[in-house]
Structure formats: structure tokens, C-alpha cells
Chains A and B, each alone.
Chain A
Amino acid sequence: MNIQGPEIYYRLPGGIHITETIVNMWILMAVITAVCAYLGHGLKDKPDSRRQVIAEFIVSKLYNMVSEVMGKKNLNFAPYIGTLITLSAFGSLCALIGMRPITADLSVTLAWAIVTFVMVQTFRIKKRGIGKYLKSFFEPTPVIAPLNIISEIANPVSMAFRHFGNIASGVVITSLIYMALAGLSSMVIKIIPIPVLQLGIPAFLSIYFDLFTGVLQAYIFCMLTMVFVAGATE
């Protein structure tokens, strides 16, 4: 057994390669877009459908969460946070139906973390001006400047690795369990070589590694993004 990264599906000229992660992401995006289009079309002033009630519930919950964490003035971040949490959660949860989770690819979580990092630095510069922004790295003493810079860079790195690590470890453990159960069942039931033990048992582990961790990491990632960006705009 060899634990590998995402499979490369296509190699396009110019060194561009389309990996499993990207294809899975497209599939998820199509599904999410379809769901959004279904939930968001033909809304009425007086909701008369369960569909609209659900859509309003989801959106108002999201906006409430964003306004609680980031304050009312940063409410225009809500669509981005909503997109991020949806893609992140579904990107992890798609493991439940056998797809390779997109968040088990470091490049994906790092890309999201870099977006957060860029947003934080941009808002900090906008808020304080470039001079004060640069000066803030040399406070309280210039000696500490390298540490300040490292701590700034550590934020996106730790976010990316946290999310990636949790989901990827789930993938690894799940495949290890499958391997172990396959070996065990071929050892125990030698007469009929049917992998009986692999049926059902991994599902319970999947509840933790895919469902719980997936949703939790999506929540944590978005919460950190909100806290950092809100801190930068204050």
C-alpha cells in the first residue's frame, strides 16, 4: 500500500496538470451552485415554501455568525465566509461518498489560507497606512521584528496545515483501516475470500474522521479567517 497524493488526470501543455483535487472541486462547485440556484430562485415576500424557509435560515444564520464575530460593519464579508465554509465542509464531506476530499490536498488549504493572509495584510495597510503598518513590525523593539514577521507568516501556514492535516490524517487512517481489515478478513475467513470485515466497520470511523472532523475544520478555518480579518480592520 502506497499512500499517495491526488492523482493527475490530465497533463496540458505548459506544465499545467489537472489533478483529482481540481476535478473533485469542480464537481462540488457544480453541486453547490445547483443547490444555491435551487434554494435562491423565485423567492417571495411571504415565504410559502420549505425551500425558501431553509434558504433564509441558512443565510440569516451565516450573517448572524459573521456579525457576531466580525461586527456589523464587516457584514459584507459574509458571502466570502459562506463560500469558504461551504466549499471546505463539502470538500471534506465528499469523502463520505468515496471521493478524495479536496481539503486533503495541502495546496487547496494553503491557497485558502493565503487568501486570508492577503486579506489581513491588505486591510491592515488600508486601515493604518503603509508607514504605520511597517512600523508595527518593529514594535515594541526592533529586535523583535523577525519574530513578528514569522508570527505573521505562521498564521496562514498553521491554518493550512491544521486543515490539511486533520482531513489527510482521516484519509490515511481510513485507508490503513481498510488495509488492516482486508488482511484480517483474509486471515480469518480463508475459505471464502470475501472481505467481510470491511463492510460496515469503517463507517463508524468515518463518522468521526470525515463527518465530525470535516465540519469542525471548516468551522475552525472560517472562524480563524473571520477573527484575523476582523482584527485587521479594527
Chain B
Amino acid sequence: MENYLSFVTIDLWTLIFTWGNLLILFLLMKKLLFKPVTDILNKREQEVNDIYDNANTTKEEAANLKSEYTAKLADAKNTAEQIIEGAVKKAQQDEEKIIKDARFKAEQIIKRAEENIELEKKNAFNKLKNDISGMAVSLASKIVERDVDETEHHKMIDEFIDSIGEAS
């Protein structure tokens, strides 16, 4: 029996074995090499994507927080300004009121003092007038040595002094 196939021949059993072998090797290689490696590559790609996504999310969050804080800061500044403004306004109002009060009081005091002075002056003047007229009457009575009508003289002298006071 011939122990060799001829050099160029199509052998049905070799065809069949080749197909079987190709299928077996395909399944083996897929299971042992291609699937594990592609799995790990996909997994890594997924991880990288996740990391990027996370980074983006964190970035966005940070940006949001930043804008939030900026807004809050601006708010706080506004509030502070308002408070200060209010305080200043109130202080100014208070100041004006105090000054006004003080001026009013001072004016009252001055007025009263002036009135007092005027009263005192009047009193003093009246007293002086009385004294002077008394003195003049007693002096005159001594000079004349007779009793003059005291009320009459008083009246005369007062008129005289008044005329002087008016003139002075």
C-alpha cells in the first residue's frame, strides 16, 4: 500500500481534520487568549473612562461650589455694606437729633438765664430805685426838716429815676 499521499492532492480526510482542528484551535485560543485579554483591555478602558468621568464630575462640583461661594461671599459683602450703611445712617440721625436736642436745651438754658438776668436786673433796679427814693426822701426831709408827704415824694422820685433809666 502506498505510504505517501501524492504531492498535489485534495484529501477529503485532511480537509475534514483541518476544519475540525481549526474550530478546536479557534475555540481554545478564544477562550485562553483573546477573551481574557480583551476583557482586561475593556475593563481597563472602562476604568480609565470612569476616572475621567469622575474627574469631570469633581471638576463640575468644584466649579459649582466655587460659584456658590462667590455668590455667598458677594451676599455677605452686600449684607455687611447694608449693615454698615444702616448703622452710619442711624448714627447720623442720632447725631443730628442729639445736636438738635443739645442746641434746643442750650437755647432754653440761655433763654432762661437771660430771663433770670432780666428779672434780677429788674429786681435790682427796683430795689435800687426804692433805696434811692427812700434815701432821697429821708435826705430831703432832713434838709427841709419837716415831714413831707412821703408817698407824694416817692412818686415824684420814681418818676424821676424812671426818666433817667429810660434815658440811660
Interface residues of A (CB under 8 A from B): 3-8, 11, 15-19, 21-22, 25-26, 29, 32-33, 36-37, 39-41, 43-45, 55-56, 58-60, 63, 78-80, 82-84, 86-87, 105-108, 110-112, 114-115, 164, 168
Interface centre among B1, B2, B19, B22 (most CB of A within 10 A): B22
Contact-size category for B: 35 or more
Chain B: minimal CB distance from A171 (Å): 9
Q: Given A37-B32, A107-B12, list of 4 further CB < 8 A pairs? A: A32-B28, A33-B28, A58-B37, A107-B9
Contact with A along B10-26 (1 / 0, CB 8 A): 11111101110110111
| Interface-facing stretch out of B38-46, B100-108, B113-121, B128-136 | B38-46
- A111-B41 in contact given A19-B5, A105-B14 (Cβ < 8 Å): no
B33:A36 contact, CB within 8 angstroms: yes
A82:B15 contact, CB within 8 angstroms: no
- A4-B21 in contact given A43-B40, A56-B37, A107-B11 (Cβ < 8 Å): no
Chain B residues with Cβ below 8 Å from A25 are 17-18, 21
Chain B: minimal CB distance from A172 (Å): 8
How many residue-residue contacts, CB under 8 A, span A and B?
Answer: 141
B21:A79 contact, CB within 8 angstroms: no
Chain B residues with Cβ below 8 Å from A37 are 32-33
Chain A residues with Cβ below 8 Å from B13 are 15-17, 19, 22
Chain A: minimal CB distance from B38 (Å): 6
Interface residues of B (CB under 8 A from A): 1-15, 17-19, 21-22, 24-26, 28-30, 32-41, 43-44, 47
Q: How far is the CA of A17 from the CA of B26 in the complex (A)?
A: 23
Chain B residues with Cβ below 8 Å from A29 are 21, 24-25, 28
Q: How far is the CA of A111 from the CA of B11 in the complex (A)?
A: 10
A112:B22 contact, CB within 8 angstroms: yes
Q: How far is the CA of A175 from the CA of B41 in the complex (A)?
A: 46
- A59-B41 in contact given A37-B32, A45-B47, A82-B34 (Cβ < 8 Å): yes
A8:B3 contact, CB within 8 angstroms: yes
Chain A residues with Cβ below 8 Å from B21 are 22, 25-26, 29, 87
> Which A-chain residue is minimally distant from B19 (CB atoms)?
A111
A106:B22 contact, CB within 8 angstroms: no
Q: How far is the CA of A67 from the CA of B151 in the complex (A)?
A: 146
Q: Which of B3, B8, B11, B33 contacts A7 (CB 8 A)?
A: B3
What are 10 inter-chain pairs, A to B, with CB distance below 8 A? Answer: A3-B7, A29-B21, A32-B25, A36-B33, A59-B37, A79-B26, A86-B25, A86-B29, A87-B22, A107-B12
Chain B residues with Cβ below 8 Å from A6 are 4-5, 14
B3:A111 contact, CB within 8 angstroms: no
